[in-house]
Structure formats: C-alpha cells, structure tokens
Structure 1
Amino acid sequence: MVTEPVYWDPFDRDIARDPYPVYARLRAEAPLYYNATHDFWAVSRYDDVDRALLDWRTFSSSRGPILEIIKAGIEIPPGTLLMEDPPAHDIHRGLLARVFTPRRILSLEPQIREMCVRALDRLTGLDRFDLMAAYANEVPMRVIGMLLGIPEADQQAVRDRADANLRTEPGQRMQVSERAIPNADHFAEYIDWRAEHPSDDLMTELLQAEFVDTAGVTRTLTRQEILTYISVVAGAGNETTARLLGWLGSLLARHPEQRAALAADPRLIPNAIDETLRFEPTGHAIARYVTADVELHGQVVPAGSAMMILVASANRDAERWDEPDRFDIHRKISNLRTFGLGTHFCLGASLARLEARVALEELLARFPSWEVEWDGLELSPTSTVRGWERLPLVVG
C-alpha cells in the first residue's frame, strides 16, 4: 500500500476540522516540513518548537507572527509587540506589563464575575442557546473594553472589527492590508477623549507613561504608537479567550463525568482550563521569519524563509505527554506551549486564565449540565484562531 506524503495546509478547512492526525504524521515522518504551495517550513515536535520559540535571533518576530503578514512584506509600526524583537520589544512590553501585573489582574475578578452573571441572567428560562453568541464572545469583549477604557456601547463594534480582520475564505489566505495593524484609527476618538478625561485604564496608562526608547531618549508614546498598542490588545484579547470558552463548552459536553467533577469541586477548574489549552489550543501555529540559514533534521532552511511553529502539535507530542490524545482535567500540566515561550510569552495569559475560570464557575453554577446540538457546530472561518463560530447548547 502506497501512502501519500503528509500534507499540512493552514488554509485547508478539511484539515482544520481535525488537524491532529496530520500533526502526528508530521512529527513522525516530516519533523521539518516544507509546503511548496504556500512556500513555508514547519516544525511540529515539542523540542523543535521550544528551540524556535527561544531563538528569537534566528526565528524573528520582526516581520510578524502570522504567515500572511510575513509574506506580504509590509512595514511594521513601532510598538507592535507581537511583531518586534529585543531590545525594542522589551521596552514596549515593559509599558504594557505595568497594566498586566498579577495584583492588577486579580483585582479584576469581581468585575469579570459581574459581567458573567449579567450575561447569564439574560439566558434565564431558556432551554437552548448558542454559547458563543450568548456568552463566550460576550465576556472577553466586555473585559477588554473595560481594561482599555472603551465605552460599553461601543465594545461590540470594536470586537466585530477585530473579528472581521481574521476571517478568510475557504482555502484562501487572510487578506492583509498595507498596514500590519488595520483599523487602528478607529480608536483615535477614544484616545483623544481619554486624554481629557484620565481614568484607571490602559489608555490613560499609555498616555501618561514615560520610558527610555531605543535611541536613549526619555519620552512618552506618540499618538500613533498608542493606537497600535490599543489595537493589538483589543484584537489579541477578544478572539482567543472567546474560543477557549467555546472549547470548554464542547469538551465538557463530550466528557460529562469530568464536567460533573468540576461542578462538584470548582477548585479543579484552573487545571481543567490548562488541560483545555493543551488539548484544544485556540492558536495552532506561530509564524516566524528566518534571519539566517539554519540546519534542522539534516536540512538547511534558508534565510528569508517563513517558519510555522506548531504549538498545537507540541501540546500532543507523546515524547512530552502521556496519552496526549486523551482529555483529562486531572492531568498534571507543566510547560504548556499554548501561550508561547521566552520573550514573546503571552502577556495576557493570566488574564485569559482568570476570565476562563470565572466564566466556567458561573456557567456551571447556573447550568451544571448541557448537551451540544452537534449537527449545528460550526468552526470559525479563520486560518489563525481555531474555535467554534457557533456552539448550540441544550440545557436542562
């Protein structure tokens, strides 16, 4: 029997429905994989993923963390954390880190809980609803809006714009404009208003922050730099957390005994969230630009190449995890790669975990059991974030 060579394509919707068998073949047959159709390389084993994430000099973020942006060769504006290497990255990250301190994140819990309760109150008396539309999309949108200082009436429009930027047609790449961060100007009116009305939010923090830039000059951020910061946070904080909540909804429906354990003992929820992040990460691949020839598995990846780092594959590498294809909320989790590693480790990881914990606590308190209408499931049409567009639940 002749087996076709393994093929992985981030734009192929059929592969996206269940990419894990393809990842297993990549790890076994092509640990360094080249896709000639789209001209990129990929690594899929846990150790290779770590090497690439840690070696920012060779695997650079300076051209963007998304394949389409790297291929477009567009100019990256300063302050775009996801698209910078040290030392500029470290300076700009330090400004946002002031807002994402552990103490400040934990202080948000009462407000996040109130947002969850308010969203669930609207579902009282219903026996079915779409978890994504009614809850999973709603909570992160409100949290990020609160953190940024965006008026509640405008938060849905902000989320819709960020969501639209990620959407793709079947088999097609994401459309990239001449700017790496589209729609940043939409935040201009908020920044102008906040400059006159300071508050305890990220916009005010960025408007007032002084720092030493890469030229050694002590200054504040320019208006365009602030627009870029806000756009990055608004986009990154909405979609990924929403899809995480969706995966919790579907996985716990498939494993009702584990859902019952969480309802009986909410102290298990943080570990269940990390297992969900391992088992069904919302982002499967991180792209990098290769700055110098590098040898991997007996082949040379030439400088100027695009490298796809498959963190979702690393999360199921049997060399790292026992029974990696089994979902287990009791699994001991360490060295998770869903949030990255090294200099670009996700700054919002603790916020995402907090949102997911509170959202699941409140969901289980209100609806300790549910079923999914599996025929109504629909994956989100993006090549960068994998999760549910629709997740219809029946509760009772």
Structure 2
Amino acid sequence: MTAESRMGIESPVYWDPFDPDIARDPYPVYRRMRAEAPVYYNDVHDFYALSRFEDVDRALLDWQTFSSAKGPILEIIKADIEIPPGTLIMDDPPSHDIYRSLLSRVFTPKRVLSLEPRIRAYCVRSLDRLAGLDQFDLMTNFANEIPMRVIGMLLGIPEDDQQTIRDKADHNLRTERGKPMQVPEDRSIGNPELFADYIDWRRDHPADDLMTELIRAEFEDVHGVRRTLTRDEILTYVNVLAGAGNETTARLIGWLGSLLAEHPDQRAELVADPSLIPNAIEETLRFEPIGHAIARYVTTDVELHGATVPAGSAVTIIVASANRDETRWDEPDRFDIHRKVHQLRTFGMGPHFCLGNALARLEARVALEEFLQRFPVWSVDRDVLELSSTSTVRGWAALPITIG
C-alpha cells in the first residue's frame, strides 16, 4: 500500500488497454474516468479516450471529425497504414456507404432469420458430441465452433477447411501478454490471401454463397464508374467478415456461459421460460461487451470538457464504459436479464453500426436455447479463467465448466 492510499488519497486515474491486470476488471477504472477524466490522455501509448455515454455517441455519429479512414484499432491508427479499398470498418462516407450497401442485402432481417434452421443444426450436432460429459471447455467445444460453421457456410468455405481458416484468423488477433498488437513489417492488415484460392475457384464454380454474390455484384463507385469488385476488394471483404464474425459471436457465447453460472437464479428463469433469452442476450451485450473500445482518428481539434484533443490524434471510444454510465442506467454494475436495454452501444452507432448484429444475436439465442435444454445447470471456476490476449475483443481464452 502506498503512502497516498494509506492517507485516503487516490493516485491519478490510469487506463492502459493493453494491461492484462486492468483488463481483468476494467469497470472501476472506467467509472473513475467518467468522473475524473472524461477526456483521458495516455502518455505512454499517446492516445486519448472518451468514456461518457454522451461523448461516445457524439464521436460515433460525427464521422467527419472522428474518422475511420485510418482504421478502428488503436495500433493500426498509430502505425499509419495505407488502408486497402473495400475495408468497410476502415472507411468513411461516401465510399463506406457504397461498399456497405453491397453487404447490407446479405444481412437483411428476413435473410438472417432464414439461417436459423441451419444454425440450430450446427448447435445440435456440436452438443450431441458432449452428451454424457461431466466437464468440458465451453469455448473449444461449443462457443468457438458455432460462429465458425455459420460464417464458413455464408462464405462458402468447405467444412473441412473451416477450422484451419478460423485458427489462422484467430492467430492474427493474438497479442503478446500486456503488449499492443504487432503490425506486420509489410504493414498489411489481416491475411486476405488466406481466401485467395477459394475466391479464384468460385469464379468458375458459382454457388449460393456470399463469395459468389461479391464476385457478381455490380455497383457505381465514388468516381461514378459502374463496375464489379476487384479481386483485392473481394479478398478484403471476406477477410474482415471472417475475422469479425468468428471472434465476436464466440466471445458472446462465452460470456453467456460465465455470467449465467454466476447468476444461477437468473439461469433457472431462462430454463423455465426460454422467451426471456433474447433480453438476457441484450443484457449480456451491455454488461460484458465483446469489444470494449473503438478507435478513431481525429481530423480537427476537438474541444470537450475544457480539454483539447488535437487534430491527428488517436482516440479510443470506450463503448463498454458507455454501457455502464450511471447517467443512463440504473445500477449499471448489476447483471439483470429483466432490464430494459434500449441504449446499447456494443455494436456501435451511426454509419459503422455493425451489419452483423442481427446474425450475432440469432446465433447466441439459438446456441443458448439448445445449450439450456441439455445442460440446465453448470458451474465455472473463475479463479482459473484467463482472458484471451487480444487488443480488439474481450472474452475467455478457455471456459472449463462442470455440469450439474
């Protein structure tokens, strides 16, 4: 204990998104940031952070000032990488809107709901393999598998190849404990060539999948030219979708597993009344969002709360803090599956609101419905849990559970 803490004096608030000790439970730090440093500056990594709900909303909506053109990840912005065209999450309007429209037709509510029977079949198949087991890793044996199968099916990746694809995409997100993501020497983003052979094969063998749709899609680009997507643009699309679709939904299923183990009374309510499951998912998305912060590049000086964020700065927009802002939520640090969740910021807001949000919610709902039917009671030893080491998503590396 320091002399300051013995005297009841707190040291200045400090938040480091790469610090695993802070990441274990960042919410007390977020609370202090909202109260003491709503415009926070980290001089170690040279970035600013916004933590209050109203400031998060302002930044997400004002894309002209808080630009996505240099990427949504702090390390990518700091590396000043040249962003390839077609990278939806790393672009601003009007280019962003054009590229987004090509995918929006795939993620319509009707089309997403039509996937439910296939998603349920994947869940049943995975869970049937676990029948009779007293212990297993929820992440490895279930949470990681369902999104992998769904995204693979949407893209047209053969099932035999899906695990390899997921492992390689997962590897790209991994960081060394306590350190930022390492940007490759060639300053590339992800691993788009991972899908090159599939796309080349699909040109000659079209099917009812997203790759075929992207190959065939015609659009008018920012220069007014009517054309189809280039090979590089398609590779970028597929790379982004594969990474985002796999990681986020898997982490959401994992959080459902751990939170419901901590709140067995609420879990019992879901077993008795599965109609409560959709709202339980919303509360989980609020309480433990998969991605805690979205990064932006500031194009002009910004004045907030008496502080100036200079043009050219990197800013992290902490949606996880907004989700627990006491000015917007009653008892924000309490998990409650009956809470009315109507100001969720986990999927962002504005031009970059997550296109795959309905699919993630559907996968989580079906997964939890099927899981609770087979395993209504389980426990988790939180003392042995470790968060996966990434700077982009937050969730369990493994989640060993005991049934009963």
Bin the TM-score by the shorter chain: over 0.9
Does residue 198 (structure 1) correspond to residue 210 (structure 2)? The answer is: no
- Paired letter, 1:205: E
- For residues 382 and 78 of structure 2, the distance between their equivalents in structure 1, rounded to whole angstroms, comes to 37
For the residue of structure 1 that corresponds to 2:14, the secondary structure is coil
Cα distance per residue 1:57-95 (max 9 Å; x no partner): 000000000000000011100000000000000000000
- For residues 124 and 273 of structure 1, the distance between their equivalents in structure 2, rounded to whole angstroms, comes to 25
Paired residues in the alignment total 396
- For residues 123 and 325 of structure 1, the distance between their equivalents in structure 2, rounded to whole angstroms, comes to 33
Matches within 5 A, 1:240-319: 240-319=248-327
For the residue of structure 2 that corresponds to 1:309, the secondary structure is strand
- For residues 182 and 169 of structure 1, the distance between their equivalents in structure 2, rounded to whole angstroms, comes to 17
- For residues 200 and 63 of structure 1, the distance between their equivalents in structure 2, rounded to whole angstroms, comes to 33
Equivalent residue in structure 2 for 1:350, among 355, 358, 369: 358
1:340 alignment partner in structure 2? 348
- Paired letter, 2:95: A
Structure 2's unaligned 5+ residue stretches are 1-6
> Structure 2 vs 1, CA of residues 107 and 179 (structure 1 numbering), >3 Å: closer, same or farther?
farther
- For residues 369 and 180 of structure 1, the distance between their equivalents in structure 2, rounded to whole angstroms, comes to 45
- Paired letter, 1:147: L
- For residues 81 and 43 of structure 2, the distance between their equivalents in structure 1, rounded to whole angstroms, comes to 22
- For residues 190 and 324 of structure 2, the distance between their equivalents in structure 1, rounded to whole angstroms, comes to 34
Does residue 163 (structure 1) correspond to residue 170 (structure 2)? The answer is: yes
- For residues 192 and 31 of structure 1, the distance between their equivalents in structure 2, rounded to whole angstroms, comes to 49
- For residues 313 and 402 of structure 2, the distance between their equivalents in structure 1, rounded to whole angstroms, comes to 47
Equivalent residue in structure 2 for 1:369, among 357, 370, 377: 377
- Paired letter, 1:128: Q
- Paired letter, 1:343: P
Deviation at 1:180, TM superposition (A): 4.3
Q: Could you tell me the TM-score, scaled by structure 1's length?
A: 0.99
- Paired letter, 2:329: W
Does residue 385 (structure 1) correspond to residue 393 (structure 2)? The answer is: yes
- For residues 188 and 59 of structure 2, the distance between their equivalents in structure 1, rounded to whole angstroms, comes to 23
Matches within 5 A, 1:60-99: 60-99=67-106
- For residues 360 and 221 of structure 1, the distance between their equivalents in structure 2, rounded to whole angstroms, comes to 37
- Paired letter, 2:72: P
Does residue 9 (structure 1) correspond to residue 16 (structure 2)? The answer is: yes
Percent of pairs identical after alignment?
75
Cα distance per residue 1:351-377 (max 9 Å; x no partner): 000000000000000101111133331
For the residue of structure 2 that corresponds to 1:389, the secondary structure is coil
Does residue 139 (structure 1) correspond to residue 136 (structure 2)? The answer is: no
How well do the aligned residues superpose, as a CA RMSD in angstroms? Answer: 0.8
- For residues 222 and 191 of structure 1, the distance between their equivalents in structure 2, rounded to whole angstroms, comes to 11
1:126 alignment partner in structure 2? 133
For the residue of structure 2 that corresponds to 1:388, the secondary structure is coil
Cα distance per residue 1:101-128 (max 9 Å; x no partner): 1111000000000000000011011100
- Paired letter, 1:123: L
2:157 alignment partner in structure 1? 150
Structure 1's unaligned 5+ residue stretches are none
Cα distance per residue 1:333-389 (max 9 Å; x no partner): 102000000000000000000000000000000101111133331210111111000
For the residue of structure 2 that corresponds to 1:364, the secondary structure is helix
